[in-house]
């Protein structure tokens, strides 16, 4: 499918979604979020896609934030509706069942930081920076920043970033656990793809079940989370991929997973 505000390319089982609004540093307008929702649906439903990379066009920005021209005219009702729509898109991304890597090539601010937070892994260029500066505009995060950031880096660090609106460098983002890798800017695309290629070499059902167990179990009691894990372990044990993985290990060869 062709989108007006982003590029969607599939190669070797990886979908690359590139935000492409260079004049606005890839800002998230309502149309961009609609396009992203369509791209997420493609990622989730197309069998030839094993995982995805999200990145931004150009060298300056992953996504520099929301489209302020749209936000400036919103009232309380349409503001809440906009937040709920954006949250729904990012939740679909987070629960699509396939690994998604954010390749953060520059500014990831406001909504851009929230998009990165909804991805399963984040690889950052050494030029990247992150922030939730919405308080400087008299609003707060609306696409999940208050929830995912605190879960990822801890409540204290999230409060610091959100209430001060400050920007953190790629190195600080790595130190606090906001990103998983920092690489030289010129190596970003290759590093993100290498990371995802490695994951796609694993059993796809096992990856899907692991993502679901982590997501669903995070807010459960330990006992309930352990039961969820045991159930998923049992489900994986019923697959042909499990038998292939075990046999390949015993035969000292690479497994040939089929997703069954």
CA dist 17 and 9 (Å) reads 7
Q: Give pLDDT tens digits for 13-38.
A: 999 999 999 999 999 999 999 999 99
CA dist 116 and 114 (Å) reads 5
Q: What is the mean pLDDT of the chain?
A: 96
Residue 112 has pLDDT above 90, yes or no: yes
250-258 long-range Cβ contacts below 8 angstroms, 24+ apart: 254/201, 255/203, 257/202, 257/203, 257/204
Q: Are residues 29 and 70 in the same domain?
A: yes
Task: Report the pLDDT value the prediction gives residue 66, as an integer from 0 to 100.
Answer: 87
Short-list 196, 232, 239, 235, CA closest to 216 = 232
User: Which amino acids are annotated catalytic?
Assistant: 114, 134
Angle at 46 between CA 41 and CA 51, to 5 degrees: 80
Q: Are residues 31 and 117 in the same domain?
A: yes
Q: Are residues 224 and 99 in the same domain?
A: no
Phi, psi of 193 (to 5 degrees): -70, -40
- Report percent pLDDT > 90 for the chain: 94
Specify the number of domains making up the chain.
Answer: 2
Q: Are residues 46 and 65 in the same domain?
A: yes
Q: Which domain holds residue 214?
A: 204-250
| pLDDT confidence band for 256 (50 / 70 / 90) | very high
44 inside domain: yes
Residue 176 has pLDDT above 90, yes or no: yes
Q: Are residues 126 and 228 in the same domain?
A: no
pTM of the model: 0.96
Q: Stretch 218-238: mean pLDDT, rounded?
A: 96
Q: Are residues 85 and 110 in the same domain?
A: yes
Residue 67 has pLDDT above 90, yes or no: no
62 inside domain: yes
259 inside domain: no
Q: Are residues 230 and 131 in the same domain?
A: no
**Of all helices (H) and strands (E), which one includes residue 163?**
helix 155-164
Q: CA torsion angle for 17, 23, 29, 31 (degrees, to 10)?
A: -60
CATH value at residue 11: 3.90.226.10
């Amino acid at each position: 499918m062709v989108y007006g505000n982003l590029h969607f390319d599939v190669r070797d089982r990886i979908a690359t979604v590139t935000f492409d609004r260079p004049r606005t540093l890839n800002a998230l307008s309502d149309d961009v979020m609609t396009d992203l929702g369509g791209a997420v649906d493609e990622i989730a439903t197309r069998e030839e896609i094993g995982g995805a990379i999200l990145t931004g066009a150009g060298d300056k920005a992953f996504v520099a934030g929301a489209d302020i021209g749209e936000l400036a005219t919103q009232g309380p009702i349409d503001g809440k509706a906009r937040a709920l729509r954006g949250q729904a898109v990012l939740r679909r991304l987070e629960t699509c069942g396939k690994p998604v890597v954010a390749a953060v090539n520059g500014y990831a601010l406001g909504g851009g930081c929230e998009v990165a937070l909804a991805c399963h892994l984040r690889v950052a260029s050494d030029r990247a920076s992150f922030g939730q500066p919405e308080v400087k505009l008299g609003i707060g995060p609306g696409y999940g920043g208050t929830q995912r950031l605190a879960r990822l880096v801890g409540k204290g660090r999230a409060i610091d970033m959100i209430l001060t609106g400050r920007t953190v460098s790629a190195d600080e983002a790595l130190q606090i656990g906001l990103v998983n890798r920092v690489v030289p800017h010129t190596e970003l695309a290759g590093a993100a793809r290498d990371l995802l290629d490695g994951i796609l070499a694993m059993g796809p059902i096992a990856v899907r079940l692991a993502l679901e167990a982590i997501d669903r179990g995070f807010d459960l009691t330990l006992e309930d989370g352990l039961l969820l894990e045991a159930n998923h372990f049992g489900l994986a044990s019923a697959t042909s991929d499990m038998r292939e993985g075990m046999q390949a290990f015993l035969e000292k060869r690479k497994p040939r997973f089929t997703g069954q």
